[in-house]
Chains A and B, each alone.
Chain A
Protein backbone atom coordinates (compact mmCIF):
# COMPACT_ATOMS: atom_id res chain seq x y z
CA UNK A 1 0.00 0.00 0.00
CA UNK A 2 1.00 3.62 -0.42
CA UNK A 3 0.38 6.06 2.42
CA UNK A 4 1.41 9.36 3.94
CA UNK A 5 3.19 8.76 7.20
CA UNK A 6 3.85 11.23 10.01
CA UNK A 7 7.13 11.05 11.87
CA UNK A 8 6.60 10.35 15.57
CA UNK A 9 10.29 10.36 16.50
CA UNK A 10 13.67 10.40 14.75
CA UNK A 11 16.76 9.99 16.90
CA UNK A 12 20.41 9.07 16.45
CA UNK A 13 20.95 5.81 18.33
CA UNK A 14 24.66 5.49 17.59
CA UNK A 15 26.98 7.77 15.59
CA UNK A 16 25.62 7.71 12.02
CA UNK A 17 22.67 5.41 12.79
CA UNK A 18 19.13 6.65 13.27
CA UNK A 19 15.88 5.14 14.43
CA UNK A 20 12.63 6.62 13.15
CA UNK A 21 9.10 5.88 14.32
CA UNK A 22 6.33 6.73 11.86
CA UNK A 23 2.56 6.41 11.74
CA UNK A 24 1.08 3.62 9.63
CA UNK A 25 -2.39 2.46 8.60
CA UNK A 26 -3.98 -0.30 10.67
CA UNK A 27 -3.30 -2.91 7.93
CA UNK A 28 0.43 -2.25 8.20
CA UNK A 29 0.58 -4.19 11.49
CA UNK A 30 0.34 -7.38 9.37
CA UNK A 31 3.87 -6.68 8.05
CA UNK A 32 6.06 -9.80 8.14
CA UNK A 33 9.57 -9.75 9.59
CA UNK A 34 11.98 -9.14 6.70
CA UNK A 35 9.63 -7.01 4.63
CA UNK A 36 10.66 -3.49 3.69
CA UNK A 37 9.33 -0.06 2.80
CA UNK A 38 10.24 2.41 0.05
CA UNK A 39 10.35 5.94 1.43
CA UNK A 40 10.29 9.14 -0.57
CA UNK A 41 12.62 11.46 1.30
CA UNK A 42 11.09 14.66 -0.08
CA UNK A 43 8.84 15.84 -2.89
CA UNK A 44 11.64 17.32 -5.01
CA UNK A 45 13.57 15.65 -7.84
CA UNK A 46 16.88 15.38 -6.00
CA UNK A 47 17.00 12.84 -4.49
CA UNK A 48 14.72 11.45 -7.16
CA UNK A 49 14.12 7.85 -6.17
CA UNK A 50 12.65 6.30 -3.06
CA UNK A 51 14.99 4.66 -0.58
CA UNK A 52 14.44 1.08 0.66
CA UNK A 53 14.51 0.39 4.41
CA UNK A 54 13.91 -2.75 6.41
CA UNK A 55 11.04 -2.67 8.90
CA UNK A 56 12.61 -2.64 12.37
CA UNK A 57 9.41 -2.90 14.37
CA UNK A 58 5.65 -2.43 14.17
CA UNK A 59 3.28 -1.63 17.01
CA UNK A 60 0.41 0.45 18.29
CA UNK A 61 0.94 3.52 20.44
CA UNK A 62 -1.78 3.86 23.05
CA UNK A 63 -1.85 7.38 24.47
CA UNK A 64 -1.97 7.76 28.25
CA UNK A 65 -5.03 10.02 28.30
CA UNK A 66 -8.33 8.20 28.04
CA UNK A 67 -10.35 8.75 24.89
CA UNK A 68 -7.28 9.39 22.72
CA UNK A 69 -7.06 7.27 19.58
CA UNK A 70 -4.40 4.57 19.55
CA UNK A 71 -1.98 4.98 16.66
CA UNK A 72 -0.40 2.11 14.70
CA UNK A 73 3.23 2.80 13.84
CA UNK A 74 6.34 1.25 12.35
CA UNK A 75 10.01 1.88 12.91
CA UNK A 76 13.05 1.97 10.66
CA UNK A 77 16.69 1.75 11.67
CA UNK A 78 18.87 3.46 9.08
CA UNK A 79 22.44 4.49 8.49
CA UNK A 80 23.33 7.84 6.95
CA UNK A 81 25.20 6.84 3.81
CA UNK A 82 24.32 9.46 1.21
CA UNK A 83 22.19 12.44 0.31
CA UNK A 84 18.83 10.72 0.85
CA UNK A 85 19.55 9.30 4.29
CA UNK A 86 21.30 12.53 5.33
CA UNK A 87 18.08 14.41 4.52
CA UNK A 88 16.04 11.83 6.39
CA UNK A 89 18.17 12.45 9.48
CA UNK A 90 17.23 16.16 9.43
CA UNK A 91 13.49 15.46 9.67
CA UNK A 92 11.49 15.96 12.85
CA UNK A 93 8.32 14.90 14.61
CA UNK A 94 5.17 15.76 12.60
CA UNK A 95 7.08 15.89 9.28
CA UNK A 96 5.34 13.83 6.60
CA UNK A 97 6.78 11.14 4.33
CA UNK A 98 5.32 9.18 1.42
CA UNK A 99 5.73 5.44 2.12
CA UNK A 100 5.19 2.36 -0.06
CA UNK A 101 4.96 -0.95 1.75
CA UNK A 102 5.21 -3.37 3.36
CA UNK A 103 6.94 -4.87 0.31
CA UNK A 104 8.63 -8.15 -0.56
CA UNK A 105 8.74 -11.60 0.92
CA UNK A 106 9.83 -11.85 4.55
CA UNK A 107 11.42 -14.54 6.71
CA UNK A 108 9.93 -18.00 7.07
CA UNK A 109 9.67 -18.46 10.83
CA UNK A 110 10.37 -22.21 10.59
CA UNK A 111 9.41 -24.78 13.20
CA UNK A 112 9.48 -24.27 17.00
CA UNK A 113 11.75 -27.27 17.67
CA UNK A 114 14.81 -25.43 16.26
CA UNK A 115 17.20 -23.13 18.05
CA UNK A 116 17.01 -19.82 16.20
CA UNK A 117 20.38 -18.26 15.38
CA UNK A 118 20.14 -14.67 14.13
CA UNK A 119 23.23 -13.07 12.58
CA UNK A 120 23.36 -9.34 11.92
CA UNK A 121 26.09 -6.98 10.76
CA UNK A 122 25.79 -3.22 11.27
CA UNK A 123 22.56 -1.78 9.93
CA UNK A 124 21.72 -5.34 8.83
CA UNK A 125 20.16 -5.66 12.29
CA UNK A 126 17.27 -3.49 11.03
CA UNK A 127 14.92 -6.27 9.85
CA UNK A 128 16.07 -8.74 12.53
CA UNK A 129 14.41 -7.15 15.57
CA UNK A 130 10.86 -7.79 14.35
CA UNK A 131 12.00 -11.29 13.43
CA UNK A 132 13.43 -11.90 16.91
CA UNK A 133 10.21 -10.60 18.47
CA UNK A 134 8.23 -13.25 16.59
CA UNK A 135 10.74 -16.08 17.04
CA UNK A 136 11.07 -15.73 20.84
CA UNK A 137 7.38 -16.61 21.17
CA UNK A 138 8.11 -20.24 20.26
CA UNK A 139 11.80 -21.04 20.41
CA UNK A 140 15.10 -20.10 22.05
CA UNK A 141 16.78 -17.29 20.09
CA UNK A 142 20.43 -16.26 19.99
CA UNK A 143 21.70 -13.11 18.28
CA UNK A 144 25.20 -12.75 16.84
CA UNK A 145 25.75 -9.06 16.16
CA UNK A 146 28.89 -7.72 14.55
CA UNK A 147 30.37 -4.48 13.30
CA UNK A 148 33.61 -2.65 12.64
CA UNK A 149 33.44 -0.83 15.99
CA UNK A 150 31.05 -0.63 18.95
CA UNK A 151 29.22 2.20 17.13
CA UNK A 152 28.12 -0.32 14.48
CA UNK A 153 26.48 -2.74 16.93
CA UNK A 154 22.96 -1.47 17.38
CA UNK A 155 20.02 -1.86 19.74
CA UNK A 156 21.44 -4.86 21.60
CA UNK A 157 19.54 -3.85 24.75
CA UNK A 158 16.27 -4.12 22.83
CA UNK A 159 17.11 -7.66 21.74
CA UNK A 160 18.11 -8.59 25.31
CA UNK A 161 14.78 -7.28 26.59
CA UNK A 162 13.03 -9.79 24.31
CA UNK A 163 14.91 -12.57 26.08
CA UNK A 164 17.37 -13.09 23.22
CA UNK A 165 20.84 -14.26 24.23
CA UNK A 166 23.24 -11.83 22.53
CA UNK A 167 26.83 -12.33 21.37
CA UNK A 168 28.73 -9.36 20.00
CA UNK A 169 31.97 -9.06 18.06
CA UNK A 170 33.76 -6.05 16.62
CA UNK A 171 36.70 -5.89 14.26
CA UNK A 172 38.55 -3.47 16.57
CA UNK A 173 37.55 -5.23 19.79
CA UNK A 174 35.77 -2.15 21.17
CA UNK A 175 32.71 -4.26 22.03
CA UNK A 176 32.45 -8.00 22.64
CA UNK A 177 35.13 -10.22 21.26
CA UNK A 178 37.60 -8.99 18.68
CA UNK A 179 37.08 -10.44 15.22
CA UNK A 180 34.22 -11.53 13.04
CA UNK A 181 30.84 -12.45 14.44
CA UNK A 182 30.86 -15.66 12.40
CA UNK A 183 33.47 -17.10 14.79
CA UNK A 184 30.97 -16.98 17.67
CA UNK A 185 28.35 -18.49 15.35
CA UNK A 186 30.66 -21.39 14.48
CA UNK A 187 31.33 -22.08 18.18
CA UNK A 188 27.59 -22.22 18.86
CA UNK A 189 27.03 -24.51 15.89
CA UNK A 190 29.80 -26.83 17.11
CA UNK A 191 28.10 -27.04 20.53
CA UNK A 192 24.62 -27.75 19.12
CA UNK A 193 22.83 -30.91 20.18
CA UNK A 194 19.46 -30.38 18.46
CA UNK A 195 18.21 -28.71 15.30
CA UNK A 196 18.91 -25.07 14.42
CA UNK A 197 18.02 -22.52 11.80
CA UNK A 198 19.99 -19.42 10.76
CA UNK A 199 18.61 -15.98 9.80
CA UNK A 200 21.10 -13.39 8.56
CA UNK A 201 21.22 -9.81 7.30
CA UNK A 202 24.29 -7.64 6.82
CA UNK A 203 27.16 -6.87 4.45
CA UNK A 204 27.45 -9.25 1.51
CA UNK A 205 30.78 -10.64 2.73
CA UNK A 206 29.21 -11.60 6.04
CA UNK A 207 26.22 -13.20 4.33
CA UNK A 208 28.57 -15.12 2.07
CA UNK A 209 30.46 -16.45 5.10
CA UNK A 210 27.26 -17.36 6.95
CA UNK A 211 25.80 -19.11 3.90
CA UNK A 212 28.99 -21.13 3.47
CA UNK A 213 29.06 -22.12 7.15
CA UNK A 214 25.38 -23.15 7.05
CA UNK A 215 25.79 -25.13 3.82
CA UNK A 216 28.79 -27.03 5.23
CA UNK A 217 26.66 -28.14 8.21
CA UNK A 218 23.40 -28.60 6.26
CA UNK A 219 21.65 -26.08 8.50
CA UNK A 220 18.72 -24.17 7.02
CA UNK A 221 19.73 -20.56 6.41
CA UNK A 222 17.78 -17.55 5.24
CA UNK A 223 19.46 -14.31 4.22
CA UNK A 224 17.99 -10.87 3.64
CA UNK A 225 19.64 -8.98 0.77
CA UNK A 226 20.03 -5.32 -0.05
CA UNK A 227 19.82 -4.15 -3.64
CA UNK A 228 19.97 -0.89 -5.58
CA UNK A 229 16.38 -0.50 -6.63
CA UNK A 230 14.28 2.23 -8.19
CA UNK A 231 10.74 0.93 -7.70
CA UNK A 232 10.50 -1.85 -5.08
CA UNK A 233 7.64 -3.52 -6.95
CA UNK A 234 9.44 -5.66 -9.54
CA UNK A 235 9.41 -3.28 -12.50
CA UNK A 236 12.84 -1.67 -12.75
CA UNK A 237 14.78 -4.96 -12.45
CA UNK A 238 17.68 -3.01 -10.97
CA UNK A 239 17.98 -5.01 -7.75
CA UNK A 240 18.49 -8.54 -9.07
CA UNK A 241 20.86 -11.06 -7.43
CA UNK A 242 22.34 -14.13 -9.13
CA UNK A 243 20.54 -17.39 -8.34
CA UNK A 244 22.42 -20.59 -7.49
CA UNK A 245 22.49 -21.81 -11.09
CA UNK A 246 23.69 -18.50 -12.48
CA UNK A 247 26.56 -18.43 -14.95
CA UNK A 248 27.38 -16.53 -18.10
CA UNK A 249 25.93 -19.42 -20.11
CA UNK A 250 22.91 -20.07 -17.87
CA UNK A 251 21.91 -16.67 -16.53
CA UNK A 252 19.57 -16.79 -13.53
CA UNK A 253 18.73 -13.51 -11.81
CA UNK A 254 16.31 -13.16 -8.88
CA UNK A 255 14.47 -9.94 -8.15
CA UNK A 256 15.42 -8.83 -4.61
CA UNK A 257 12.32 -6.65 -4.14
CA UNK A 258 9.62 -9.16 -5.12
CA UNK A 259 11.25 -12.62 -4.94
CA UNK A 260 13.17 -11.49 -1.80
CA UNK A 261 14.54 -9.61 0.02
CA UNK A 262 14.69 -12.82 2.07
CA UNK A 263 16.01 -15.91 0.25
CA UNK A 264 16.95 -19.40 1.29
CA UNK A 265 20.75 -19.16 1.11
CA UNK A 266 20.79 -22.20 -1.17
CA UNK A 267 18.74 -20.34 -3.79
CA UNK A 268 21.54 -17.86 -4.38
CA UNK A 269 25.01 -17.97 -5.87
CA UNK A 270 27.86 -17.49 -3.38
CA UNK A 271 31.63 -17.36 -3.67
CA UNK A 272 33.18 -20.67 -2.64
Chain B
Protein backbone atom coordinates (compact mmCIF):
# COMPACT_ATOMS: atom_id res chain seq x y z
CA UNK B 1 0.00 0.00 0.00
CA UNK B 2 1.15 3.52 -0.78
CA UNK B 3 2.39 5.13 2.43
CA UNK B 4 1.22 8.57 3.50
CA UNK B 5 4.12 10.93 2.78
CA UNK B 6 2.52 14.31 3.39
CA UNK B 7 3.42 16.49 6.34
CA UNK B 8 2.11 19.82 7.54
CA UNK B 9 4.87 22.30 8.16
CA UNK B 10 3.55 25.23 10.19
CA UNK B 11 0.47 25.41 7.97
CA UNK B 12 2.20 24.60 4.66
CA UNK B 13 0.98 21.31 3.21
CA UNK B 14 3.93 19.38 1.81
CA UNK B 15 3.22 16.34 -0.38
CA UNK B 16 6.35 14.84 1.13
CA UNK B 17 9.01 16.11 3.57
CA UNK B 18 11.64 16.82 0.90
CA UNK B 19 12.52 20.45 0.31
CA UNK B 20 15.49 22.04 -1.42
CA UNK B 21 17.88 24.29 0.49
CA UNK B 22 18.34 27.97 -0.23
CA UNK B 23 21.28 28.78 -2.48
CA UNK B 24 21.43 25.31 -3.99
CA UNK B 25 18.35 25.37 -6.23
CA UNK B 26 18.37 28.83 -7.82
CA UNK B 27 14.82 30.19 -7.98
CA UNK B 28 13.41 26.78 -8.93
CA UNK B 29 13.29 27.30 -12.68
CA UNK B 30 16.98 26.44 -13.16
CA UNK B 31 16.27 22.87 -12.04
CA UNK B 32 12.95 22.23 -13.77
CA UNK B 33 14.71 20.34 -16.58
CA UNK B 34 16.36 17.90 -14.15
CA UNK B 35 14.02 17.67 -11.17
CA UNK B 36 10.24 17.29 -11.39
CA UNK B 37 9.22 20.08 -9.05
CA UNK B 38 5.80 18.45 -8.63
CA UNK B 39 7.50 15.45 -7.01
CA UNK B 40 9.00 17.28 -4.04
CA UNK B 41 7.48 18.87 -0.95
CA UNK B 42 8.64 22.46 -1.40
CA UNK B 43 11.55 24.47 -2.74
CA UNK B 44 13.37 27.41 -1.21
CA UNK B 45 14.70 30.35 -3.25
CA UNK B 46 18.18 31.79 -3.21
CA UNK B 47 18.43 34.28 -0.31
CA UNK B 48 16.82 37.59 -1.28
CA UNK B 49 17.59 41.14 -0.17
CA UNK B 50 16.03 44.56 -0.77
CA UNK B 51 18.73 45.59 -3.24
CA UNK B 52 20.48 43.24 -5.68
CA UNK B 53 23.80 41.97 -4.34
CA UNK B 54 26.81 41.12 -6.48
CA UNK B 55 28.47 38.83 -3.96
CA UNK B 56 32.12 38.16 -3.22
CA UNK B 57 35.15 38.03 -5.53
CA UNK B 58 36.35 34.64 -6.80
CA UNK B 59 37.44 31.97 -5.98
CA UNK B 60 34.13 31.49 -4.22
CA UNK B 61 34.05 27.74 -3.84
CA UNK B 62 36.48 24.95 -3.12
CA UNK B 63 36.00 21.25 -2.61
CA UNK B 64 37.40 19.47 0.45
CA UNK B 65 37.10 15.77 1.31
CA UNK B 66 33.40 14.99 1.73
CA UNK B 67 32.30 18.57 1.40
CA UNK B 68 32.72 22.00 -0.08
CA UNK B 69 33.30 25.53 1.13
CA UNK B 70 31.43 28.42 -0.40
CA UNK B 71 31.71 32.16 0.04
CA UNK B 72 29.25 33.42 -2.55
CA UNK B 73 28.38 36.47 -0.49
CA UNK B 74 24.60 36.27 -0.92
CA UNK B 75 24.63 37.25 -4.61
CA UNK B 76 20.97 37.66 -5.58
CA UNK B 77 18.71 39.57 -7.94
CA UNK B 78 17.00 41.66 -5.22
CA UNK B 79 13.32 41.78 -4.34
CA UNK B 80 12.22 43.88 -7.34
CA UNK B 81 13.75 41.57 -9.95
CA UNK B 82 12.50 38.57 -7.97
CA UNK B 83 8.93 39.84 -8.28
CA UNK B 84 9.31 40.82 -11.96
CA UNK B 85 11.37 37.90 -13.28
CA UNK B 86 11.13 34.94 -10.90
CA UNK B 87 7.63 35.01 -9.38
CA UNK B 88 5.83 34.37 -12.72
CA UNK B 89 7.48 30.95 -12.87
CA UNK B 90 6.27 30.11 -9.34
CA UNK B 91 2.69 30.43 -10.66
CA UNK B 92 3.30 27.50 -13.03
CA UNK B 93 4.18 25.10 -10.19
CA UNK B 94 1.77 23.75 -7.58
CA UNK B 95 4.61 22.94 -5.16
CA UNK B 96 4.95 25.54 -2.39
CA UNK B 97 7.79 28.02 -2.88
CA UNK B 98 9.48 29.36 0.24
CA UNK B 99 11.30 32.69 -0.06
CA UNK B 100 14.58 32.83 1.83
CA UNK B 101 15.64 36.37 2.73
CA UNK B 102 18.05 38.46 4.76
CA UNK B 103 18.83 42.06 5.67
CA UNK B 104 21.66 43.97 7.22
CA UNK B 105 19.51 45.71 9.86
CA UNK B 106 16.39 44.71 11.77
CA UNK B 107 14.43 47.25 9.72
CA UNK B 108 15.65 45.72 6.46
CA UNK B 109 14.60 42.25 7.62
CA UNK B 110 11.14 43.61 8.48
CA UNK B 111 10.84 45.44 5.16
CA UNK B 112 11.74 42.26 3.28
CA UNK B 113 9.20 40.24 5.27
CA UNK B 114 6.54 42.89 4.50
CA UNK B 115 7.34 42.83 0.76
CA UNK B 116 7.36 39.03 0.57
CA UNK B 117 4.11 38.84 2.57
CA UNK B 118 2.40 40.65 -0.33
CA UNK B 119 3.36 37.97 -2.89
CA UNK B 120 0.61 35.33 -3.11
CA UNK B 121 2.93 32.86 -4.87
CA UNK B 122 5.20 32.76 -1.81
CA UNK B 123 3.90 30.06 0.55
CA UNK B 124 6.22 30.84 3.42
CA UNK B 125 9.24 32.84 4.51
CA UNK B 126 12.61 31.53 5.63
CA UNK B 127 14.65 34.12 7.51
CA UNK B 128 18.38 33.73 7.05
CA UNK B 129 19.99 34.98 10.25
CA UNK B 130 22.98 32.79 9.77
CA UNK B 131 24.97 33.37 6.61
CA UNK B 132 28.61 33.10 7.64
CA UNK B 133 29.98 34.96 4.63
CA UNK B 134 28.70 38.46 5.09
CA UNK B 135 29.83 40.95 7.67
CA UNK B 136 26.94 42.76 9.32
CA UNK B 137 28.78 45.72 10.83
CA UNK B 138 29.41 43.93 14.08
CA UNK B 139 25.85 42.68 14.51
CA UNK B 140 25.74 38.96 14.09
CA UNK B 141 22.06 38.14 14.16
CA UNK B 142 22.54 34.42 14.01
CA UNK B 143 24.83 33.98 16.99
CA UNK B 144 23.21 36.19 19.61
CA UNK B 145 19.80 35.08 20.96
CA UNK B 146 18.65 38.65 21.64
CA UNK B 147 19.56 39.87 18.14
CA UNK B 148 17.87 36.84 16.60
CA UNK B 149 14.76 37.47 18.66
CA UNK B 150 14.58 41.10 17.56
CA UNK B 151 14.75 40.08 13.89
CA UNK B 152 12.08 37.42 14.32
CA UNK B 153 9.80 39.80 16.30
CA UNK B 154 10.09 42.47 13.61
CA UNK B 155 9.29 40.01 10.81
CA UNK B 156 6.47 38.39 12.79
CA UNK B 157 4.79 41.77 13.18
CA UNK B 158 4.43 42.23 9.40
CA UNK B 159 3.53 38.78 8.10
CA UNK B 160 0.99 36.09 8.78
CA UNK B 161 2.71 33.69 6.40
CA UNK B 162 4.55 30.77 7.97
CA UNK B 163 7.84 32.15 9.30
CA UNK B 164 10.77 29.75 9.31
CA UNK B 165 14.03 30.80 10.97
CA UNK B 166 17.23 29.24 9.61
CA UNK B 167 19.72 28.67 12.41
CA UNK B 168 23.49 28.80 12.36
CA UNK B 169 25.57 25.96 13.76
CA UNK B 170 28.35 28.43 14.58
CA UNK B 171 27.15 28.93 18.14
CA UNK B 172 27.95 27.53 21.57
CA UNK B 173 24.38 26.44 22.33
CA UNK B 174 22.00 26.03 19.40
CA UNK B 175 19.07 25.34 21.75
CA UNK B 176 19.37 28.85 23.24
CA UNK B 177 19.01 30.30 19.72
CA UNK B 178 16.10 27.98 18.99
CA UNK B 179 14.23 28.93 22.15
CA UNK B 180 14.80 32.65 21.52
CA UNK B 181 13.28 32.32 18.02
CA UNK B 182 10.35 30.26 19.33
CA UNK B 183 9.59 32.85 22.00
CA UNK B 184 9.83 35.65 19.40
CA UNK B 185 7.10 34.11 17.26
CA UNK B 186 8.76 31.81 14.71
CA UNK B 187 6.54 29.09 13.23
CA UNK B 188 9.33 26.65 12.36
CA UNK B 189 13.10 26.31 12.52
CA UNK B 190 15.44 25.08 9.82
CA UNK B 191 18.92 23.88 10.68
CA UNK B 192 21.78 23.77 10.11
CA UNK B 193 23.20 26.44 7.86
CA UNK B 194 26.85 25.96 6.84
CA UNK B 195 29.72 25.72 9.31
CA UNK B 196 32.36 28.39 9.00
CA UNK B 197 35.54 26.85 7.63
CA UNK B 198 38.60 27.58 5.54
CA UNK B 199 41.01 25.97 3.11
CA UNK B 200 44.66 26.86 2.56
CA UNK B 201 46.85 26.52 -0.53
CA UNK B 202 50.16 25.49 0.99
CA UNK B 203 52.32 26.21 -2.05
CA UNK B 204 50.96 29.71 -2.51
CA UNK B 205 50.76 30.22 1.26
CA UNK B 206 47.36 31.79 0.75
CA UNK B 207 43.74 30.99 1.59
CA UNK B 208 41.97 29.27 -1.31
CA UNK B 209 38.84 31.44 -1.06
CA UNK B 210 39.05 35.14 -1.86
CA UNK B 211 36.86 35.71 1.22
CA UNK B 212 39.39 33.64 3.29
CA UNK B 213 36.61 31.78 5.13
CA UNK B 214 33.51 30.12 3.76
CA UNK B 215 30.53 27.98 4.68
CA UNK B 216 31.21 24.26 4.86
CA UNK B 217 28.51 21.94 3.53
CA UNK B 218 28.13 18.43 2.17
CA UNK B 219 28.07 14.92 3.61
CA UNK B 220 30.95 15.67 6.00
CA UNK B 221 28.70 17.89 8.16
CA UNK B 222 25.83 15.43 8.58
CA UNK B 223 26.78 14.12 12.05
CA UNK B 224 26.92 17.66 13.43
CA UNK B 225 23.60 18.56 11.80
CA UNK B 226 21.91 15.42 13.14
CA UNK B 227 23.12 16.17 16.65
CA UNK B 228 21.84 19.76 16.50
CA UNK B 229 18.44 18.77 15.08
CA UNK B 230 18.09 16.19 17.85
CA UNK B 231 19.03 18.74 20.54
CA UNK B 232 16.68 21.41 19.18
CA UNK B 233 13.80 18.95 18.76
CA UNK B 234 13.96 18.26 22.48
CA UNK B 235 14.22 21.96 23.37
CA UNK B 236 11.30 23.49 21.42
CA UNK B 237 7.76 22.62 20.30
CA UNK B 238 8.17 24.09 16.79
CA UNK B 239 8.40 21.89 13.72
CA UNK B 240 11.97 21.49 12.51
CA UNK B 241 13.43 21.24 9.03
CA UNK B 242 16.61 19.15 9.10
CA UNK B 243 19.45 20.28 6.84
CA UNK B 244 23.07 19.22 6.54
CA UNK B 245 24.80 16.81 4.19
CA UNK B 246 21.68 14.92 3.11
CA UNK B 247 22.73 12.89 0.05
CA UNK B 248 20.13 10.12 0.02
CA UNK B 249 16.90 8.81 1.54
CA UNK B 250 18.74 7.12 4.42
CA UNK B 251 20.24 10.44 5.47
CA UNK B 252 16.85 12.14 5.15
CA UNK B 253 15.06 9.51 7.27
CA UNK B 254 17.74 9.77 9.97
CA UNK B 255 16.94 13.48 10.32
CA UNK B 256 13.23 12.67 10.61
CA UNK B 257 13.95 10.14 13.37
CA UNK B 258 16.03 12.82 15.12
CA UNK B 259 12.96 15.05 15.21
CA UNK B 260 12.67 16.82 11.85
CA UNK B 261 9.23 17.20 10.25
CA UNK B 262 10.80 17.98 6.87
CA UNK B 263 14.30 18.03 5.41
CA UNK B 264 16.21 20.15 2.90
CA UNK B 265 18.53 18.82 0.24
CA UNK B 266 21.40 21.24 -0.44
CA UNK B 267 24.84 20.39 -1.79
CA UNK B 268 23.48 17.11 -3.21
CA UNK B 269 21.53 19.12 -5.82
CA UNK B 270 24.82 20.49 -7.17
CA UNK B 271 26.08 16.97 -7.79
CA UNK B 272 22.80 15.56 -8.99
CA UNK B 273 20.22 18.18 -9.95
CA UNK B 274 17.52 15.53 -9.59
CA UNK B 275 18.65 14.56 -6.08
CA UNK B 276 15.58 15.90 -4.24
CA UNK B 277 13.18 14.00 -6.50
CA UNK B 278 15.22 10.81 -6.11
CA UNK B 279 15.38 11.16 -2.33
CA UNK B 280 11.60 11.63 -2.08
CA UNK B 281 11.00 8.52 -4.19
CA UNK B 282 13.52 6.46 -2.23
CA UNK B 283 12.06 7.56 1.13
CA UNK B 284 8.67 6.33 0.04
CA UNK B 285 10.20 3.04 -1.10
CA UNK B 286 11.85 2.65 2.32
CA UNK B 287 8.51 3.16 4.07
CA UNK B 288 6.93 0.50 1.84
CA UNK B 289 9.79 -1.93 2.45
CA UNK B 290 9.63 -1.38 6.20
CA UNK B 291 5.86 -1.44 6.56
CA UNK B 292 5.53 2.16 7.73
CA UNK B 293 2.09 3.50 6.76
CA UNK B 294 2.71 7.18 7.48
CA UNK B 295 5.94 9.17 7.46
CA UNK B 296 4.67 11.11 10.47
CA UNK B 297 5.15 7.96 12.58
CA UNK B 298 8.89 8.44 12.18
CA UNK B 299 9.14 12.08 13.26
CA UNK B 300 11.19 12.11 16.45
CA UNK B 301 10.82 8.35 16.78
CA UNK B 302 14.48 7.84 17.65
CA UNK B 303 14.85 5.34 20.48
CA UNK B 304 17.55 6.30 22.93
**Interface, chain A (partner B; CB < 8 A):** 1-2, 40, 45-50, 98, 100, 227-231, 233-241, 251-253, 258
Contact = CB atoms under 8 A, between A and B. Distances in A.
Given A45-B219, A236-B70, 7 more contacts: A2-B274, A46-B65, A48-B66, A49-B271, A231-B273, A233-B273, A239-B58
B55 A240 contact: yes
Given A235-B25, A235-B31, A253-B55, A48 B61 contact: no
29 contacts: A2-B272, A2-B273, A40-B271, A45-B218, A45-B219, A45-B247, A46-B66, A48-B65, A48-B66, A49-B271, A50-B270, A227-B58, A230-B61, A230-B271, A233-B31, A234-B30, A235-B24, A235-B31, A235-B46, A236-B72, A236-B270, A237-B55, A238-B61, A238-B72, A240-B55, A240-B75, A241-B58, A251-B55, A258-B30
Contacts of A237: 55, 60, 72, 75
B55 A228 contact: no
Contacts of A49: 63, 68, 270-271
A227 B60 CA distance: 10
B86 to A, nearest CB: 13
A233 to B, nearest CB: 6
B62 interface: yes
Nearest to B64: A48
Interface in B244-278: 247, 267, 269-274
Nearest to B25: A235
Interface string B15-58: 00000000111100011011000000000001000000111001
B67 interface: yes
A100 B54 contact: no
B11 interface: no
A238 B60 contact: yes
B90 to A, nearest CB: 16
A253 B31 CA distance: 21
A105 to B, nearest CB: 15
Contacts of B31: 233, 235
A247 B53 CA distance: 13
B247 A240 contact: no
Which DSSP category, helix, strand, loop or mixed, fits chain A's interface?
Answer: loop
Given A48-B218, A235-B25, A252-B54, A228 B59 contact: yes
A45 B251 CA distance: 14
A215 B184 CA distance: 58
Contacts of A235: 23-26, 30-31, 46, 269-270
Contact of B63 (A2, A47, A234): A47
- Name, among A229, A233, A235, the residue most crowded by chain B CB atoms within 10 Å (CB to CB): A235
A231 B25 CA distance: 10
A234 B32 CA distance: 12
Contacts of B53: 251
A230 B33 CA distance: 17
Nearest to B218: A48
Contact of B271 (A48, A227, A239, A251): A48
Contacts of A252: 54
A166 B255 CA distance: 59
Contacts of A47: 63
Interface in B58-93: 58-63, 65-68, 70, 72, 75
Contacts of B23: 235-236
B75 A253 contact: yes
Contacts of A234: 26, 30
A38 to B, nearest CB: 9
